[in-house]
Structure 1
Amino acid sequence: MTSLSTPSPARPTRRGPRWLRSFGVQVTAALVLGVVAGLIARQLGEPGGQPNGLTATLSTIGQSYVSLLKAAVIPLVFLAIVSSIGNLRRVSNAARLAGRTLLWFAITAFIAVSIGIALGVVLQPGSRASHGELAASDPGVTATWWNFLIGLVPSNFAGAQVNTHVEVVDGAATATSSVAFNVLQVIVVAAAIGIAALKVGRKAEPFLAFTDSALKIVQRVLWWIIRLAPLGTFALIANAIASYGWTTIGSLAWFVFAVYLGLAIVLFVVYPIIVRGNGLSIRQYYSGVWPAVQLGFVSRSSIGTLPLTQRVVERNLGVPSGYASFAAPLGATTKMDGCAAIYPAIAAIFVAQFYGLQLNLLQYLLIIVVSVVGSAATAGTTGAIVMLTLTLSTLGLPLDGVGLLLAVDAILDMGRTAVNVAGQALVPTIVAKREGILDLDLYNAPRSGEPFSEADEAAAERADTDATVDGGEPQETASRDTVSQPA
């Protein structure tokens, strides 16, 4: 009699020491090597007035990585918004949850911008900057409330616009065209389609199922891009050092210190108080959200981090899938405590102090209003220049002051995005806890501490394969293992 036995699954082939395969180690190494490469590139100079080969290579690699992230933004935003609104059909009290989510977005934004204003007034970073080493320049983009409101109205279905640039050289005109997308218009179009799908009802089920499937495909492609983050980080940091050097960056040291101090206060003081005040473990919150915070730091994109943010919110923090799939995309496009609250508050005060202008109480109140109401202007993409120009134009401050801060924007953007992502995961967790729908067993479950392990990836893929049964409704898995990598 022959006995049949189930073969044990093959263990993944090791590709080097575990610590070397760690995403955090790779990013840290990229930061250090980027600084070294940037210093070397700066020492090589600019022969013939042109960037040397190393600087040009670093610039190309960095710009290519940012371009890859931006290329994934539009389909991801559109599909995520439509899918998230469609998923509200699976959630009871959807309107109440949406309202509570927006309320907590506003509460945390108010706290963050208040901290930014206080630090700007106390530390006086603009008064400490060297006028001889900083030069104002055109920010390249200008945001006003009028333009912001007009920009909400879609010019076409895709929110696309064609920009044509004509350059005349030796009497010969050369025209180049490029297609750009207005992310705010994409959000408006996606929201309208998602709401319409909810109104249509059962007949829209095939469309919503297709949207969910397409979203998973885009998220998988985006994950491939995210895995290149160490390379992109290396090139971006190195190019910043090579282009600006320590002299210019050093002249903004107090500004950088003020921003990072504000980010640290929000991330390590305000958020823990909110977590503890709602009866949750601070340690479990950080261990659950840290993979997404780490990725936000290196990718510098809330939208780019969205797949991982949503996964840790659901699988680590215990937020129900139906609500998380709405709150996470909404937060990735509108919840920006770093980019839209702390940074513009300190930066606006810096510009005023640099030019010797005194801000009155009304202008400080306007900073708060802009930060709480205008967060959507950042639209989840890398950088916060749009939000800063919106703040400066509202206060009547010189817009060319934005150019003073460009030398350190890449360095600041890492910390800003990390705080953005932490807040985007915090709010749905708090709302779910207050509404009594948070899975406390999952929230308090032990975690491996390895956010990007191969075992987690395999588990995530199996979960996605078996996630839909009985007409597409999500199936709860019996395992309590936390999965931190997006599928």
Structure 2
Amino acid sequence: MSSATKIPGAQPRARKGLRFPSFSVQILLGLALGVLLGWLALSLGPQADGETPNGLTTTLDTIGSSFVTLLKAIVPPLIFTAIVASIANLRSVTNAARLAGQTLLWFAITAAISVAIGIGLGLVFQPGHNTTLTTAEAAEPSSTGTWLDFLNGLIPTNVLGLGASTSVEAGADGALSAETGISFNVLQILVVALVIGIAALKSGAKADPFLAFNKSALAIVQKVLWWIIRLAPLGTMGLIGNAVATYGWESLRSLASFSVAIYVGLALVLFVVYPVLLKANGLGVVAWFKGAWPAIQLAFVSRSSVGTMPVTQRVTERNLGVPSEYASFAVPLGSTTKMDGCASIYPAISAIFVAQIFGIDLSLTDYLLIAFVSVVGSAATAGLTGAMVMLTLTLSTLGLPLAGVGLLLAVDPILDMGRTAVNVAGQTLVPTIVAKREGILDLEQYRAASSEHLFDEDEAAEDRAAQGGATPDEVAPAEREPVPAHA
């Protein structure tokens, strides 16, 4: 066995090879390259048969969808282990019940503000009247969300929250083919994790081996997720490129008023409402944006609140100064239930769009129902990509035609990027505000927030090892799990 020997005056070892741009810059480069490749694929057009996408479009679609699939694959073990660990951490928090109540209260407050903005913009922009689409182009959605489905979704079908799904299709010769797959319900996994976590706490010392195993499992799951997130720049290129190549600008042109209304609403919440709430609670706005930006940026390109959750929790703790005992509970909960973009702004404007294009007048009661569904039913989106479940839940509650959903599908991926970014921003905002109000926020850490070196601890550890300090293997796990800043 040999150990590192500290040499007086030794300098950090020189790094060999090319130094790649920071993780944030890589994401931006992926965005730019994706737009260029998407534009090129769009200009090439489909193959000779006029229907099959060209090779470049197919490649971009494969890259982007594979990245999202990888993120979704890690969701079940991530949610379960994170929630169980967060409940275990609450043992060291004396006012855990109050913190949980304040978190849910602020979730509702920000959702109510967001849905009010969505309703207001829907009335101002009149998106259903300012479109070239007609009701003849409407189509029923493949799946819908109802209050009964939502309530049934809270009851786990098994301890893993998994279920089997079967789809049947008719071929050209009339023969039927069936495909069976495994699906998971994030809400059911959340419920199972909450029950098991509480049971473990009630079991006392007997549950310590299980909690220790869960903590180790969470560390392993997070490590795998860091490897997946390393592919984010590549996934960004594929997602953006495929969106441009598939939908082009024609779809956006026909739904320009609707799309602008959505993004104006998202911008108002992110750049006006959230800063006002921060200032009202004595917190700096610039510091929050600096600290939360890595998570917001990744959410924009991944379109998954749950997939972004590890980065969201890291910036909430490391940059914004929220205690880990509280953040490890609030962030996973927010990743499945806190959806200001998908569950408030989007369904509000969409419901008004559908009502206008079908010539249906909404009453004051209808607008109050939109607000109610957004505040109470936001958990129905469950952190997954897209907001169709929440939209169909809103439309069915109001009695509006579900066929109107088909009019909006063309631009949904483009809108979903902004929606998810606002979702994740809110998931960092609420724990920060609650921690400040409860007097547990590290204000010095908050004021010093920066996204520049959030993911650079690995290199710092190597430098310490070169000078005879701790080796990378001796660094605490919390310092060795970052999203890599360099590819």
Q: Provide the TM-score with structure 1 as the length reference.
A: 0.90
Identity across matched positions, percent: 62
Distance 1:167 1:371, change over 3 A: closer
Distance 1:433 1:196, change over 3 A: same
Structure 1 residues 284-325: Cα deviation after superposition (integer angstroms, max 9, x where no partner): 111111111111111111111111111111111111111111
Q: What displacement does 1:235 show?
A: 1.6
Select which of 361, 365, 371 maps to 2:364: 361
Q: Unpaired segments of 5 or more residues in structure 1?
A: 469-473, 478-482
Question: Quick one: higher RCO (CA 8 Å, sep 6+), 1 or 2?
Answer: 2
Q: Contact between 2:461 and 2:475, CA under 8 Å: does it hold in 1?
A: no
Select which of 376, 387, 392 maps to 1:389: 392
Q: Distance in 1 between matches of 2:193 and 2:103?
A: 19
SS of corresponding position for 1:175: strand
Structure 1 residues 127-183: Cα deviation after superposition (integer angstroms, max 9, x where no partner): 111126982223222000011111111111112111223445446554321111122
Q: Distance in 2 between matches of 1:78 and 1:4?
A: 43
Q: Which residue of 2 aligns with 1:125?
A: 127
Distance 1:215 1:247, change over 3 A: same
Residue 24 of structure 2 corresponds to residue 30 of structure 1: no
Distance 1:167 1:265, change over 3 A: closer
Q: Which residue of 1 aligns with 2:424?
A: 421
Q: Distance in 2 between matches of 1:31 and 1:280?
A: 31
Q: What displacement does 1:203 show?
A: 1.5
Q: Which residue of 2 aligns with 1:441?
A: 444
1:251-270 maps to which residues of 2 (within 5 A)? 251-270=254-273
1:204-283 maps to which residues of 2 (within 5 A)? 204-283=207-286
Q: Contact between 1:291 and 1:484, CA under 8 Å: does it hold in 2?
A: no
Q: Which residue of 1 aligns with 2:412?
A: 409
1:80-95 maps to which residues of 2 (within 5 A)? 80-95=82-97
SS of corresponding position for 1:89: helix
Q: Distance in 2 between matches of 1:465 and 1:76?
A: 25
Q: What displacement does 1:4 show?
A: 6.7
Residue 317 of structure 2 corresponds to residue 314 of structure 1: yes
Q: Which residue of 2 aligns with 1:64?
A: 66
1:80-119 maps to which residues of 2 (within 5 A)? 80-119=82-121
SS of corresponding position for 2:137: coil
Q: Distance in 2 between matches of 1:439 and 1:145?
A: 40
Q: What displacement does 1:55 show?
A: 2.1
Q: Contact between 1:337 and 1:419, CA under 8 Å: does it hold in 2?
A: yes
Q: Distance in 2 between matches of 1:445 and 1:484?
A: 19
Moved more, 169-178 or 375-384: 169-178
Q: Contact between 1:284 and 1:444, CA under 8 Å: does it hold in 2?
A: yes
Distance 1:386 1:456, change over 3 A: farther
1:50-61 maps to which residues of 2 (within 5 A)? 50-61=52-63
Q: Which residue of 1 aligns with 2:465?
A: none
Q: Distance in 1 between matches of 2:194 and 2:448?
A: 35
Q: Which amino acid aligns with 2:269?
A: V
Q: Which residue of 1 aligns with 2:466?
A: none
Q: Which amino acid aligns with 2:70?
A: L
SS of corresponding position for 1:415: helix
Structure 1 residues 217-263: Cα deviation after superposition (integer angstroms, max 9, x where no partner): 11121122122122222222222222222112211111111111111
Q: Contact between 1:237 and 1:410, CA under 8 Å: does it hold in 2?
A: no
Q: Which amino acid aligns with 1:29?
A: L
1:297-308 maps to which residues of 2 (within 5 A)? 297-308=300-311
Q: What displacement does 1:383 show?
A: 1.2
Q: Distance in 1 between matches of 2:457 and 2:335?
A: 26
Q: What displacement does 1:466 show?
A: 5.0
Q: What displacement does 1:209 show?
A: 1.7
Moved more, 235-244 or 139-148: 235-244
Structure 1 residues 365-388: Cα deviation after superposition (integer angstroms, max 9, x where no partner): 111111111111111111111111
Q: Unpaired segments of 5 or more residues in structure 2?
A: 463-469
Q: Which residue of 1 aligns with 2:45?
A: 44
Pairwise CA RMSD of aligned residues?
2.6
Q: Distance in 1 between matches of 2:229 and 2:156?
A: 30
Q: Distance in 2 between matches of 1:420 and 1:89?
A: 28
Q: What displacement does 1:44 show?
A: 2.6
Q: What displacement does 1:446 show?
A: 5.7
SS of corresponding position for 1:162: strand
Q: Distance in 1 between matches of 2:380 and 2:350?
A: 16
SS of corresponding position for 2:248: helix
Q: Which residue of 1 aligns with 2:382?
A: 379
Q: Which residue of 2 aligns with 1:342?
A: 345
Q: Which residue of 2 aligns with 1:163?
A: 165
Q: Contact between 2:288 and 2:449, CA under 8 Å: does it hold in 1?
A: no
Q: Distance in 1 between matches of 2:451 and 2:327?
A: 22
Q: Which amino acid aligns with 1:63?
A: S
Q: Contact between 1:456 and 1:484, CA under 8 Å: does it hold in 2?
A: no
Q: Distance in 1 between matches of 2:281 and 2:473?
A: 31
Q: Which residue of 2 aligns with 1:138?
A: 140
SS of corresponding position for 2:274: helix
Q: What displacement does 1:445 show?
A: 2.3
Select which of 67, 74, 79 maps to 1:77: 79
SS of corresponding position for 1:126: coil
Q: Which amino acid aligns with 2:363?
A: N
Q: Distance in 2 between matches of 1:44 and 1:171?
A: 31
Q: Provide the TM-score with structure 2 as the length reference.
A: 0.90
Q: Distance in 2 between matches of 1:457 and 1:425?
A: 26
Q: Which residue of 1 aligns with 2:467?
A: none
Q: Contact between 1:308 and 1:486, CA under 8 Å: does it hold in 2?
A: no
Moved more, 140-149 or 231-240: 231-240
SS of corresponding position for 2:348: helix
Q: Contact between 1:135 and 1:404, CA under 8 Å: does it hold in 2?
A: yes
Q: Distance in 2 between matches of 1:147 and 1:132?
A: 30
Q: What displacement does 1:23 show?
A: 2.7
Q: Distance in 2 between matches of 1:66 and 1:10?
A: 37
Q: Contact between 1:456 and 1:485, CA under 8 Å: does it hold in 2?
A: no
Q: What displacement does 1:270 show?
A: 0.9
Q: Which residue of 2 aligns with 1:196?
A: 199
Q: What displacement does 1:462 show?
A: 8.1
Q: Which amino acid aligns with 1:77?
A: I
